[in-house]
Chain A
């Protein structure tokens, strides 16, 4: 069809318009494909690693040393695999960096060597690659630990430390301050005498493992039991995969909507401009089907180029994204690049189908008009006042202001598109700014306002000795909320803990969002953490039924407040009540908060250093802060493309008026004020609307994924952040105005007047 030749020339003539929408479409598809394929590869790697390297189903720590005979006996009796593994924490180089060394296992949590080999001889060690990279250690290097020199034989991964957290309550992993390694058992024991024996279990269902656990508790003092589903080091990657799905589709869908809308506006404009040509072709005998095909070719070309580039760029980008995720999660690259045909098909076809269907509906109506109607000028439909213009207030003011109002009122679709574009960019910015501030809020509220202690010592057995000045005893145990106000509660897949504390302690100051101290209310009930309240929809006054994981005993308690503890699923109650609930003797405790560093003794299971947690958090949250800059840059890019496209279209549409203004003696600046800057109030309106929407959406998002992440985000946005976001949006707008002014300058007088004559 000869008409197709004109399409390529149109693309060349309006290259900015078409290039802009292609870029928008490409960005949308690229985001979807790269993130989906990255996540899909990550998922495959995770599944493969879990399966082939025998990820544990649970692990436990007992107060007593077990004989290998006992393990064998249990294995036979409960038809499962058990293996003992030792671990010990040692300082690497300085006291701020901890290296957790494990003994080598052969049946469960089998290590995977990604480079070099696993340690075989005494004095050899294999390290996790992220830790080695963070500390510039290469295979073959020697490292000094506790005055002992170890040779690094290789890099390794273990399936129960996919997310390398020092403590299960940690939020972020930081290879600068914590890493894992593997060495021979005798080497480990020669380096540190503070080793802990874990019993790893595999090959059992939840039900069977519960039966086994009950059997263990009958005869042994169980210090810790952790199912795979509750282990954040294992579950975090799965949570990330699950929670990413929302982002993977939402963000690209918004950009897709913006690009499709832009294509539709361009098509509508094209049809309006080519009215007479369409009429002529219809008069010559062209069929509707042929003309529809011709106009659909525009959308097809945009769709095909955009989706091809998007899929290609997305597939390429998925490799570094997968690597980034894999490093973040310490997952070996067992599979390098998994082509997920579903993602490719969706990424390629869905945008094209949407684009073509929408374009068809936009072009159908004008093409169905009779040739005579199309050949006539569209004057009859012009010149009518819109509803907005009929308000008396719209007819007051100077000519310039009335002209501007009319232009706005008569181009509602353009104004709406600008509003959408600005809102999209603004919401992204507000989202980023809230995350930025939220990270600070998590630390400040949880670790500075509420947890005022410096250290927490956790014991292997129940303690009875009086605590010293500056120490507060507490009992901590695993527990779950089974009922809320008599109704069955949702099951939280992550580990939830109950803390029995002294209400008068100074080391934990439970406060609600209004800053009211809740410790005294523990006499009447329990206080729950924000993530718990958010995940289960708990509020003050609710009655909850608690079940502990040790003896399955239940108690009913009233929720007396929600504390600004933003990390973890925690319940706080009085210590004596919890001791009774757990069946412990009166006055005992399992851990204590201290101001000074507690001494290590045989009884100490581990010591938690709050400062370490904060530093760890702050060091790794810098990644999030950088990502905020990424989000801001992305928002700016999308904003500039969207606004420049639309203001260019506005200049094109108004070229007869622009030409007339030029003839009358208006200068470019004045014309720009009349035609382009008209949309400044829309930009401001878009931004203002975005602030509550952005905050609300991040709140909703965080609530929807709190169960997977285990932390809530305090939604804080200060005026400075709002101002910075506004400046970025205005900058975006004025950059697009700048580009459009150049187009406005190029409007030729004769050409524009000729268009008007036509």
Chain B
């Protein structure tokens, strides 16, 4: 298994308000799969992604990602885990505005002990021609491609995508999904996508539905559809 969560709990305390963001969450994600975590706002899907990504800590339970037991890890170990195991893709791309496309991807590349080749990666995401452009010279879709390249070039075993199409239109969003599918197939990367767009679930191998911090449903798609054919909600 690539990712295993067992009875994970996460509680946020904000003043007098207690939010149980994850309630006894248990889930197994196989290696080299695409997993779509679906749910409305406040369902806990982002929290789930954050604890898997080691950028947030869970209060109870066990999380193991490719033999990394996150529960006992110190901050420095979590940094090393993210550095060597994960790739992150954000809804707002979060590129460095003062670096070019190539340099932004270089930011990811220099973290890896076994990086992919720059030209190959940028060609795969269709951004080689624009490698010298700055983020402000790119469209949203192009920026997200760069963000994918930045995550991909590290050659991570797991790619965590937080609403990767949330800021994009349908046409661009589908292109990004196709790219993620390609990464999964070509590099064998486990891809976790969290989204409130239910349609995206159709392209995943496994779908996890969440509500109020709980997994209310999870199932495998026997025949994941092509990203171009997903229903855009």
Contact = CB atoms under 8 A, between A and B. Distances in A.
B88 A284 contact: yes
A283 B92 contact: no
Chain A interface size band reads 20 to 34
Contact of A285 (B50, B80, B90): B80
Contacts of A372: 50, 55-56
Nearest to A371: B55
B107 A2 contact: yes
B80 A5 contact: no
Given A1-B110, A2-B106, A277 B96 contact: yes
A10 B134 CA distance: 13
B110 A280 contact: no
B107 A287 contact: no
A13 interface: yes
Given A2-B110, A280-B88, A284-B150, A370 B103 contact: no
Contact of B55 (A1, A277, A288, A370): A370
B106 A10 contact: no
A2 B98 CA distance: 11
B53 A283 contact: yes
Given A13-B98, A286-B111, A371-B55, A2 B83 contact: no
Nearest to B56: A372
A5 B83 contact: no
A280 B55 CA distance: 10
A152 B154 CA distance: 84
Interface string A533-553: 000000000000000000000
A49 to B, nearest CB: 57
Residue picked from B86, B106, B107, most chain A C-beta under 10 Å = B107
A692 to B, nearest CB: 47
A465 interface: no
Interface in B96-126: 96, 98-99, 103, 106-108, 110-111
A285 B90 CA distance: 15
A79 to B, nearest CB: 76
Interface in B2-22: none
A18 to B, nearest CB: 14
Contacts of A286: 79, 83, 111
Interface in B132-160: 150-151, 154
B99 A6 contact: yes
B98 A9 contact: yes
Given A13-B98, A285-B111, A280 B90 contact: yes
A566 to B, nearest CB: 60
Contacts of A9: 98-99
Contacts of B83: 284-287
A6 B82 contact: no
B74 to A, nearest CB: 12
Residue picked from A2, A280, A285, most chain B C-beta under 10 Å = A285
Residue picked from A3, A10, A280, A281, most chain B C-beta under 10 Å = A280
B94 A276 contact: yes
A434 B75 CA distance: 59
Contacts of A1: 110
A283 B99 contact: no
B131 interface: no
B84 interface: yes
A284 B55 contact: no
A10 B98 contact: yes
B26 to A, nearest CB: 22
A284 B55 CA distance: 10
Contacts of A2: 99, 103, 106-107, 110
Contacts of A758: 92
Nearest to A3: B107
A270 to B, nearest CB: 11
B111 A283 contact: no
Interface string A370-384: 111001000000000
Residue picked from B90, B98, B151, most chain A C-beta under 10 Å = B98
B96 A285 contact: no
A282 interface: yes
A285 B110 contact: no
Contact of B111 (A10, A280, A284, A375): A284
B99 A5 contact: yes
Nearest to A1: B110
Contacts of B99: 2-3, 5-6, 9
Interface string B171-213: 0000000000000000000000000000000000000000000
Interface in A1-46: 1-3, 5-6, 9-10, 13
Interface in A349-401: 370-372, 375
Interface string B64-86: 00000000000110011111101
Nearest to B108: A284
B56 A284 contact: no
A4 to B, nearest CB: 10
Contacts of B90: 280, 375
A295 to B, nearest CB: 13
Contacts of A277: 94, 96
Nearest to B82: A285
A14 to B, nearest CB: 11
A279 B111 CA distance: 15
Nearest to A10: B98
A284 B82 contact: yes
Contacts of A287: 76, 79, 83
Nearest to B88: A283
A285 B155 CA distance: 13
Given A1-B110, A2-B99, A5-B99, A280 B79 contact: no
A297 B82 CA distance: 25
A644 to B, nearest CB: 23
Contacts of B106: 2
A277 B96 CA distance: 6
B98 A283 contact: no
B85 to A, nearest CB: 9
Interface string B30-68: 000000000000000000001001011000000000000
Given A9-B98, A276-B94, 6 more contacts: A276-B92, A283-B88, A284-B83, A284-B150, A286-B83, A375-B94
Interface of B: 50, 53, 55-56, 75-76, 79-84, 86-88, 90, 92, 94, 96, 98-99, 103, 106-108, 110-111, 150-151, 154
7 contacts: A1-B110, A2-B110, A10-B98, A13-B98, A285-B80, A285-B84, A287-B76
Interface of A: 1-3, 5-6, 9-10, 13, 276-277, 279-288, 370-372, 375, 758
List the 5 closest pairs (A to B, CB-CB), nearest first: A285-B83, A6-B98, A280-B94, A285-B82, A2-B106
